[in-house]
């Protein structure tokens, strides 16, 4: 069952938290040797916490739901390595703020999920559950794979470039990235403060809405009513300037979405690409590179030999960017945010590609090309899986919403997803 369905049964006491945890543990025992989604598990402790929940009052929106936590977020009861050998065995003294919020709402942290090295490109051991010869994406690889393989109903991830949307697309789950600064980030390894966002994965829009409401404290994320056809969202179809790099599978999914949504939504229009929009891709790279080089200064200065060559190269590039250049880039970002906001006077949401294609074969985590612009702009986005490409691997598209209007995005995403997945 989806997380929202489990939540309803748990809240009515028609299902126990222990039942759900045991079902997840059985699935993990069956599949983890092939998928490698976790860095740490503690079945006995989680079952003990589940028994306590079953004996007490309903705690909150996530009561009794097992949760995976990306290894970029601190946990007091699990080692946190940030995907790096530098921090092997490191035990934080406290939970990261998003983890504490989820526990307060009744979630049971079943384990830590694999992250790439400091959420950059060097992959961990996780494989794609649809075909283990293919990547699950990154950097939130373990979280996406665990939810896709039904080891967990929900999992936390982070995104700085494309680390929620891309693995959600490759693994065929719903991924939600909230608006920038909507989620408290204490205890989350900082990479690029201008873009870092905590979000997560589920198997439906309702699932990630539950998780998002807890992370943001905004009850509107789950309080939206079902939209009727008369209330259909105004959808802007925005291929973006990177569209020539979308392969045949993405193009086919796009055509399918256009056909379905034009028939059922009263107001669908192609988006006129703002002049120079393509510059946002390089702008995202430069801002991230500058900020990561400084956020990882301790590691860069004292542990360079324990980091991968690609990460060291990125940090060197970042140190070559001056503070004055970075300030100018942030000023450009601010002006772009104002320009892009104007699009949402004509459209409620923008439908865009999530990835260039299906999950690549091998371990390389894929290209975040279609996510970079939305990450630098800080806009909320949701990946919707609804199609199948080569080798039976999943394909989908993302919806992007207006800054701060995460509840409206999720309402529109639910409406769109219900129609596309039929």
**What is the 3 state secondary structure string of the chain?**
CCHHHHHHHHHCCCCCHHHHHHHHHHHHHHHHHHHCCEEEECHHHHHHHHHHHHHCCCCCCCCCCEEEEECCECCCCCCCCCCCHHHCCCCCCCCCHHHHHHHHCCCEEEEEECCCHHHCCCCCCCCCCCCCCECCCCCCHHHHHHHHCCCCCEEEEEECCCCCHHHHHHHCCEEEECCCCCCCCCCECCCCCCCCEEEEEECCHHHHHHHHHHHHCCCHHHHCCCCCHHHCCCEEECCCCCHHHCCHHHHHHHHHHHHHHHHHCCCEEECCCCCCCCHHHHHHHHHHHHHHHHHCHHHHHHCHHHCCHHHHHHHHHHHCCCHHHHHHHHHHHHHHHHHHHHHHHCCCEEEEECCCCCCCECCCCCCCHHHHHHHHHCCCEEEEEEEECHHHCEEEEEEEECCCCHHHHHHHHHHHHHHHCC
What residue has token string 């989620």?
A: 183
Residue of 349, 323, 343 whose CA lies nearest to 405: 349
Catalytic positions are 70, 139, 163
Instruction: Name, in order, each residue with C-beta under 8 angstroms of 224's C-beta and a sequence gap of 6 or more.
Output: 209, 407, 408, 410, 411, 414
Q: What are phi and psi of 216, to 5 degrees?
A: -95, -20
Sign, CA torsion 207/210/216/222: positive
User: What is the distance between the alpha carbons of residues 375 and 368, in angstroms, rounded to a whole number?
Assistant: 10
Beta bridge partners of 159: 197
The CA distances from residue 110 to 1, 99, 153, 236, 355, in Å, are 17, 12, 11, 39, 30
């Amino acid at each position: 069952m989806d997380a929202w369905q489990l939540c309803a049964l748990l809240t009515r006491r028609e299902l126990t938290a222990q039942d759900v945890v045991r079902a997840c543990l059985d699935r993990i025992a069956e599949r983890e040797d092939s998928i490698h989604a976790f860095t740490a598990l503690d079945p006995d402790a989680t079952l003990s916490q589940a028994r306590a929940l079953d004996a007490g009052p309903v705690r909150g929106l996530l009561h009794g739901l097992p949760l995976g936590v990306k290894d970029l977020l601190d946990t007091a009861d699990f080692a946190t390595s940030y995907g790096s050998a530098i921090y092997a065995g490191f035990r934080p003294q406290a939970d990261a703020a998003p983890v504490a919020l989820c526990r307060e709402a009744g979630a049971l942290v079943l384990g830590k999920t694999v992250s790439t090295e400091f959420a950059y490109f060097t992959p961990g051991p996780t494989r794609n559950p649809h075909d283990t010869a293919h990547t699950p994406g990154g950097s939130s690889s373990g979280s996406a794979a665990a939810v896709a393989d039904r080891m967990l109903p929900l999992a936390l991830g982070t995104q700085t470039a494309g680390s929620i949307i891309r693995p959600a697309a490759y693994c065929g789950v719903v991924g939600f990235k909230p608006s920038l600064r909507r989620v408290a980030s204490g205890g989350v390894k900082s990479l690029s403060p201008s873009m870092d966002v905590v979000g997560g994965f589920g198997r439906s829009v309702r699932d990630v809405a539950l998780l998002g409401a807890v992370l943001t404290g905004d009850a509107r994320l789950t309080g939206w009513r079902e939209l009727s056809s008369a209330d259909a969202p105004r959808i802007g179809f925005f291929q973006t300037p990177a569209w020539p790099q979308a392969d045949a599978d993405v193009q086919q999914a796009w055509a399918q979405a256009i056909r379905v949504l034009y028939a059922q939504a009263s107001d669908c229009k192609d988006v006129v690409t703002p002049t120079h929009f393509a510059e946002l891709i390089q702008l995202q790279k430069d801002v991230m590179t500058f900020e990561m080089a400084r956020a990882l200064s301790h590691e860069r200065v004292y542990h360079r030999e324990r980091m991968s060559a690609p990460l060291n190269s990125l940090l060197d590039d970042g140190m070559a960017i001056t503070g004055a250049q970075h300030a100018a880039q942030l000023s450009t970002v601010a002006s772009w945010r104002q320009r892009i906001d104007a699009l949402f006077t004509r459209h409620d949401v923008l439908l865009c590609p999530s990835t260039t294609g299906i999950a690549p074969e091998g371990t390389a985590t894929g290209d975040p090309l279609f996510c970079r612009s939305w990450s630098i702009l800080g806009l909320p986005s949701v990946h919707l899986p609804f199609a199948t490409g080569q080798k039976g691997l999943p394909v989908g598209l993302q919806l992007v919403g207006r800054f701060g209007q995460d509840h409206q995005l999720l309402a529109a995403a639910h409406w769109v997803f219900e129609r596309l997945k039929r």
